[in-house]
Structure 1
């Protein structure tokens, strides 16, 4: 039903996540990021409240391991949940309940964790993480995207995926990248198109939020 990669960029401290599913609008339910705090995915049979709860505990000083364990202790149906987390020190943790769906796999290393359910095979998760770690792309977003492409090439989900999303937080209070494909025949290709469209403009939109007087115009009516 869902496969995701959450990571901390060790060079910048940014957090990012990329995710896909056979269900619509997966990123709206499962992606949770907080600048300077961490990343958390809540997936499988999703309880959208769990991701923010993990981030709250990370913000209070818990490690990724402690945060997920604390949230699972309060969850009424932990056997259905799959959670991942990366904290501000790059520590990672994954939890998969024993009633997670289909082929379930997860792999965590320093600064990155990939996990999925209803996978074509367990190899998908290794490809996801290895593709990201091996990427030499210039931007964090492109490295996440290359991991996602490798996971799709390894088989992705057991059934056709319909939605995907990518998000990144840096040193400002908002998501500097937040792109979603809520339903599409080829969400991987559409997400790649959106990333290519967004990245050349990303820094300018960040400037708009910080100092509008220094931001460029894009020539749309009223934007001078």
Structure 2
């Protein structure tokens, strides 16, 4: 009931995940990323332990493919799971268990992997990959473009209700973690709007965490 992508920015080394689903709060269960390590989406009858496991394995030096192979070995009921990973060199790997729901498929490109289940058609992940590779600008912009391309290609078999985007870059917390946990409207559009608002402030929020003395004005009453 989900379509997603994991990606790496070749220029900056930033990692990101973008995801949408008919289920509520999909990003809370399925999106994982760690600065300097990689990004993982764990979906389809979701086991939330698999994302952190794959990141830990890549942090120990495994490639995306090696980490996904080890997730297959260690994971429970792995025939029900989809796991997508990208590592620090832009290598990607995907596991899609044979018990994934409905129409399910996957696609990969340089620095990007996409997968989905209960899809409207089997071309959606490739459309997401193509959308990412054809977009320019900030990694967040490219993730949003890719997710929109997946929607335009058909998306899920039914309406989607939640979406999210996570970005990591140089610091040990997500520099962006934007979610729409439920809407009857388009959750991808809601996350895109949040990104448009958040993007100009992203670096300021990082600077405030690292050294508030050097941060831009907070823009609140009484702020000198």
Matched, 1:206 2:206: yes
CA shift at 1:120, angstroms? 0.4
Q: Which residue of 1 aligns with 2:21?
A: 21
Residue matched to 1:116? 116
> How do 1:23-172 and structure 2 match up within 5 A?
23-136=23-136, 138-172=137-171
Measure the CA separation in 2 of the matches of 1:222 and 1:116.
Answer: 49
**What's the TM-score once normalised by structure 1's chain length?**
0.97
Aligned to 1:220: 220
Give 1:219 deviation, angstroms. 2.5
What secondary structure is seen at the aligned counterpart in 1 of 2:129?
helix
Deviations 1:52-109 (A, max 9, x none): 0000000011111111111111122011000010011111100000100000010112
Q: Deviations over 1:156-206 (max 9, x none)?
A: 000110000001101111111110000012101111110111011111111
Structure 2 CA distance, aligned partners of 1:203 and 1:218? 13
- Equivalence for 1:11: 11
Is residue 108–residue 126 contact of structure 2 (8 Å, CA) maintained in 1? no
RMSD: 1.1
Instruction: Using the TM superposition, name which of 162-171 and 71-80 deviates more.
Output: 71-80
Unaligned runs of 5+ in 1: none
Change (3 A) 1:213 1:2: same
* Deviations, residues 104-160 of structure 1 (Å, cap 9, x unaligned): 010112211000000000111111110110012x21101110111111011100011
Partner of 1:187: 187
Gaps of 5+ in 2: none
